[in-house]
Structure 1
Amino acid sequence: MSRNIIITGASGNLGSAVVEKFKREGYHIIALTDPKREDFIEEADDSYEVDVTDEGQVVSFVKEFQLQYGELDALALLVGGYGSGGFEKTSQADIQKMFHLNFFSAYHLVRGFLPIMKKQQKGTFLFVGARPALELSGAKDSLAYSLSKRLVITLTEILGEEIKDSPIRSHVFVPSIIDTPPNRESMPDADFSKWVSPVEIAEAMHYAVNTPALRNMTFKLYGEV
């Protein structure tokens, strides 16, 4: 039987690394991409254009999944984005934008697939947090972003309580600066060797999915920063 993993944000820098890792390990890759970008994920077994911040589109995809597939082994919730700005430069609209992109992109899928995992009595949720959401000294310059990622981490904790008496597991991966082309471009004088790579995060996610003894863990992937 195929081991199915859904990967949102599959065309991004982190998403590409996660797709490659799980594909190499024999998983059936179901990639979700942004309908506005028309991305093609060569290594995916199946691809769907779904705006995961749209509740209705996620509901429709969950129904499609139930028709087309058997069980779901893992759900990697990788859609997200960054926004800078402290108190004086952060509006309500800025906060709503970050909540929409970073929190609801995960919440809609958790709400849709949790009943499926409960029914099959297995499955792993994989979330992405951010260091400033845990170490608040770094949050003052990215207020909306940090608040949204803090909410993602809180979601994982509440979900952990919901599933604590079941075989379902939930993990959150908290990177510092990820070594991606956009981050290099925005910080050209930084020492990139100290950043965490997407490949390292993908390796950690695969390890977490395949280690049943790990339950509801927070993985801090800070590199040397």
Structure 2
Amino acid sequence: MSRNIIITGAGGNLGSAVVEKFKREGYHIIALLHPGKNHEVEEADDSYEVDVTDEAAVADFIKEYHLQYGDVDALAFLVGGFAMGGIADTSQADLEKMFNLNFFSAFHLVKGFLPVMKKQGKGTFLFVGARPALQMKDAKETLAYALSKKLIISLAEIVGEETNDTPIRSHVFVPSIIDTPPNRESMPEADFSKWVRADEIAEAMHYAVNTHSLQNMTFKLYGEV
């Protein structure tokens, strides 16, 4: 029987690493890509263009999933965005943008697939937090980003409470700076060797999905920064 994992943001830097890891481990990869971005994920078994910040679009995908697939073993929520700005520099529009990218991109899928996991009696949600959501000294200059990621961490905890004493699990992965080409370009003087690699996060996600004794964990992947 196929082990199905849905990966949002599969065409991104972290997404590519997660796709590669789970594909290598024998999973059936269902990649969700943003419409119009022309991303291709060669290692994905199936790809869908879905705006995961759009509640109706996600609902349509879930209906299609029910028609095409059986159970879902895991969902990895990798869509996200980053923005600088403290309280004085942050507008309502800034908050809404970060909430859409970092919170609603996961919430709509959680809402749709949590009943599926409850019915099948298994499943793992893989959320991506951020260090500024846990360390307020890092949040001062990234207010909208930090608040949106704080919502993600809270959502993961609430899902964990709702599925307590069941095989359904809700894990959060909290990286510091991820070693990606855009981050290297924006911080060319940094010591990249101290950053966390995307493949390390992918390894942690695979470990969490396949270690059933782990219940609702927060994985801090801070590298040496």
TM superposition score category, shorter chain reference = over 0.9
* C-alpha distance in 2 between matches for 1:36 and 1:101: 16
The answer to whether structure 1 residue 22 and structure 2 residue 27 are counterparts is no
Aligned to 1:106: 106
* C-alpha distance in 2 between matches for 1:58 and 1:66: 12
Structure 1 counterpart SS, 2:178: coil
Aligned to 2:146: 146
Structure 1 counterpart SS, 2:59: helix
* C-alpha distance in 1 between matches for 2:193 and 2:144: 28
The answer to whether structure 1 residue 37 and structure 2 residue 37 are counterparts is yes
Q: Which runs of 5+ in 2 are unaligned?
A: none
1:1-225 aligned at under 5 Å gives the runs 1-225=1-225
AA paired with 1:206?
Answer: H
Aligned positions, number: 225
Percent identical residues = 76
Structure 1 counterpart SS, 2:146: helix
* C-alpha distance in 1 between matches for 2:83 and 2:112: 27
* C-alpha distance in 2 between matches for 1:207 and 1:109: 22
Q: CA deviation at 1:36?
A: 2.2
Q: Which runs of 5+ in 1 are unaligned?
A: none
Tell me whether 200-209 or 164-173 shows the greater mean CA deviation: 164-173
Cα RMSD after superposing both structures: 0.5
AA paired with 2:151?
Answer: L
Structure 2 counterpart SS, 1:132: helix
Deviation per residue, 1:121-177 (Å, 9 max, x gap): 000000000000001100011000000000000000111100012110010000000
TM-score by length of 2: 0.99
